[in-house]
Structure 1
Amino acid sequence: MRRNKIVSPGVTSIQRWLKSMMYLPGFVTEYNSQLTLMSKVMTEQEKKYVVLIDEMSIKTCLEYNKSLDFIEGYEDLGHLGRSEKSAKLVLVVTIHGLYNKWKLPFAYFISSTGVTGDQMANIARNSIVKLCEIEFSPSIITCDQGTSNRKMFSLLGGTPENPYTVINSKKIFLMYDIPHLMKSVRNNLLIGNIIILTNEREKKICFNDFRNPVTSGLYKLFDVPSSTVSSTSIL
């Protein structure tokens, strides 16, 4: 940022700004107030949004919050409860405009071993309900293909034939994010072949198909050692 001559605020300034809002795990009431004001000046198309759910590792740290008289760093799932375990993961719920370029954090939850599929389904439902109350229009829930995420989609009623759920009378599509779908295809090709049955013959697709001179760049891109590729090319 400095090389691009972008002047960013100092650490003290950022800390002072953060103190103006009370941030605690779960659904932040102040966010709803700000989103309500935001929705009043938005068109119906601008209100259509995507819910992004992602979980990532964080550093284990216990810290006393003087202004809130509160010890931060323990497992805290907001309305789902708090425990004495040290938190190692954070689940963030973000909303992103479907047609317009806006993105905002909506809620976060910190856990010791990860949020379960049941808890995640509860969080997704509550997120949609709260956003509908302030007149935002949900369209899609998206996440990666983690075990808990797959269970969440199952609990929400999503199937390959009907990849959607209905919450608060709204039809919402359930979708895995594209980069993880591409990685899954790659991984499946590494450990096995894809069989395509046609009227004429059976076709087999494997990772060796990407090793010809035209597409060798894809093979290098994934940095896959040749020892892992043992299947044959298209028959």
Structure 2
Amino acid sequence: MNTSRSSEPKNHFPDLNRNWETNSRYHRLKKAVDEAGSNIVVAPKAKVAPSTLSSYLNGGEWKLSVIEKIADACGVSLQWLLFGPDKESESHIISPSRGLYDVGISYFEEAQASAGFGRMGIDAPEPRKVFISRDFLEELGLTPHQTIILKVAGDSMEPTLKTGDRLILNTTPTNFLNGVTVFVSSGQLMVKRLAPTASGTVMIISDNDRYPTQEAEISRFRWGEPDGGDAITIIGRVAYRLQAMS
């Protein structure tokens, strides 16, 4: 009788512990998804069904290969999502202490935005992660899941941009078509200065006077994935330039 009562807490303690760990895991997932822009942003970026993501958020069983994609889409490490912060590990990129380089950003190293007449299409190898400060991104008004880095090639945007410069792009869609922007036109990945006009067109300007200014109907511009049609597809607006000194 006494033995039975004394063993009861021991039988239940592991289950309570597992429940606590599971709840913490779902809390981290919800936090990551919310910071990445909500389910409707994360699901297509992770290439998973919205119903799957909702199931994961609501206590459904996680499949490792799927949750890895979700973690990447949210800009957090799989290690952190599964197990939480680990002071001995540098693998997680969301840190309560906000480390010096704690945010992973997609760097499309092989995709060079042409500051010229166009060099290449948008097709490029998968990006790699580079780590920068979350505080720095916030100063620029950026969020990790809507920030990418590309390289410049060509001289049409000199002196503003030079070959080899790295561009930090804000990929958040906006109705304002102005400023230095990376876009795809006729299969070419380009960086130019956009300036809308009162007549319903957009001037496509090269800062280098040797290159002519072009003009396009505003109806041709859109955000999203290039489809090979007549649309001018905006990839993002340049928020910051990283320039080599040599």
TM range (shorter): under 0.3
TM-score (norm 1): 0.25
TM-score (norm 2): 0.24
